[in-house]
Amino acid sequence: MSKDDMEVLKAKHRALEIEIKELWNLHVSTSLMKKLKYEKAKIRLKLELLKKKN
């Protein structure tokens, strides 16, 4: 394996690491967003139930 081949493989490896990190961050952001929307919906439901009681 030549030095150039090694450099190409290292560059591909770095690019994949970056892509994996970006995808993971997107996944975490999406998961957090879903959780926050769920919590918001639960609070909205509780507020509606309290309004109906009063």
Q: What is the pLDDT of residues 1-54, one digit of tens each?
A: 899 999 999 999 999 999 999 999 999 999 999 999 999 999 999 999 999 987
Domain extent for 2: 1-54
Domain count of the fold of the chain: 1
Q: What is the 3-state secondary structure (H, E, C) of 1-54?
A: CCHHHHHHHHHHHHHHHHHHHHHHHHHHHHHHHHHHHHHHHHHHHHHHHHHHHC
- Amino acid making up residue 32: L
Q: Nearest 5°: phi and psi at 36?
A: -65, -40
Cα angle 35, 50, 33; round to 5: 10
> What is the predicted pLDDT for the residue at 26?
94
